[in-house]
Amino acid sequence: MVINTNLAAQQASLHLSQSSSMLALSLKRLSSGSKITSPADDSAGLAVSVRLNSQVARLGAVDNNIANAISFSQTQDGYVQKVSDSLTRMSELTVLAQDVTKATSDRAAYNQEMLSLETYVHDVVTKDFNGVSLFSANTLNVTMDSEANSFPMAGINLSSATYVNLYGDRVDAVGDTSTGAVYAMNDVKKVLSQLAADRATIGSNIEQLNYYSSQIATLKNNLSAANSRIVDVDMAQESTNYAKYNILTQAGTAMVAQANSLPQSVLKLLG
């Protein structure tokens, strides 16, 4: 039996230190909800988590971009619906103006309405969405993934030759119902055909954007789940660990005290 070197106390102290460290780590994990409370806990896992978090954040931005593009297209469609209504009425007017029982004054009234509707259609061309023209030939590239690859959203050009030919058409040309009205009717029919194709393009854009939005949402969920498995603590398991290390710490404290009292037994030999 020795006095200067108490090996039992040293060993008990070492185990107590380890248990105390693990208890402190368990407390940090339980209080933060994260398994990685410092880079030393899991350096590789932390590196992966940082990349996953960054990708999820970029996907959130992409989702916002797609939502804005959908709103842009829906705004386009709202205007195009009204243009379609106007063209339908203009088509009706071109036929009414060919009625042989109508007087010149009647056709003049039809023509006035015709020109007013043309003005409305022409005004729609100038509309924009947050400073971006709603109706131009430009293709808009909408980001569709976290690497900023883009989907080319076809533009709707209401300034094309087909639409321009409509402006200025009359249905009361010198009182001749077979001249201005017939010419205007043919132009309106061409524009209606082009408008139908343009509206189908808008519908196709919205449909594809919705698919991309759903894809982004699914990918975000999967990446978040993968990141959770790396960094999020299992509360049930960690609670069990906490209870274990708490008991070990209390037991270690008692054993250090007991080990420190062992040298006192030497006094019995000296007595």
Domain ranges of the chain: 45-231, 233-271
What Rg, from alpha-carbon coordinates, does the chain have?
39
Q: For position 238, what pLDDT does the model report? A: 85
Q: For position 156, what pLDDT does the model report? A: 93
Instruction: Tell me the C-alpha distance between 51 and 231, whole Å.
Output: 13
Q: For position 103, what pLDDT does the model report? A: 84
| Tokens (6 digits) for 79 | 């205007």
Tens of pLDDT along 63-85?
A: 999 999 999 999 999 999 999 99
Count Cβ atoms within 10 A of the Cβ of residue 232 and give its class: 0-12 exposed, 13-18 middle, 19 or more buried: middle
Instruction: Tell me the C-alpha distance between 37 and 29, whole Å.
Output: 7
Number of other CB atoms surrounding residue 93 within 10 Å:
23
| Tokens (6 digits) for 146 | 């976290």
**What does the DSSP 8-state code read for residue 34?**
B
Is the pLDDT assigned to residue 2 strictly greater than 80?
Answer: no
Phi, psi torsion values for 152, nearest 5 degrees: -75, 105
Helix 104-124 to helix 180-231 angle (10° resolution) is 20
Instruction: Tell me the C-alpha distance between 260 and 5, whole Å.
Output: 11
Is 248 or 221 the better-scoring residue by pLDDT? 221
Q: For position 131, what pLDDT does the model report? A: 92
Tokens 């989907």 sit at which residue? 151
| Tokens (6 digits) for 81 | 């619906």
173 confidence band (pLDDT: 50, 70, 90): low
| Span 2-28, average pLDDT | 81
Q: For position 262, what pLDDT does the model report? A: 73
Residue-level length of the chain: 271
| Span 50-59, average pLDDT | 94
Tens of pLDDT along 188-236?
A: 999 999 999 999 999 999 999 999 999 999 999 999 999 999 988 888 8
Instruction: Tell me the C-alpha distance between 49 and 220, whole Å.
Output: 14
| Span 8-25, average pLDDT | 84
Contacts of 228 (CB under 8 A, 6+ apart): none
Is 108 or 175 the better-scoring residue by pLDDT? 108
Q: Residue type for 210, please?
A: N
Is the pLDDT assigned to residue 181 strictly greater than 80?
Answer: yes
| Tokens (6 digits) for 155 | 């533009």
| Span 77-106, average pLDDT | 91
Is the pLDDT assigned to residue 42 strictly greater than 80?
Answer: yes
Q: Residue type for 1, please?
A: M
Query: 45-231: what fold?
Result: f41 fragment of flagellin, N-terminal domain (1.20.1330)
Is the pLDDT assigned to residue 174 strictly greater than 60?
Answer: no
| Tokens (6 digits) for 104 | 């010149």
| Tokens (6 digits) for 213 | 């939005």
CB 22 within 8 A of CB 244: no
Tens of pLDDT along 113-151?
A: 999 999 999 999 999 999 999 999 899 999 998 888 999
- C-alpha distances in angstroms, 193 versus 144, 206, 247? 31, 20, 81
> To the nearest whole number, what is the mean pLDDT of the chain?
88
Q: State the pTM of this model.
A: 0.79
Strand residues in the chain grouped as ranges (E): 128-129, 132-133, 140-143, 150-153
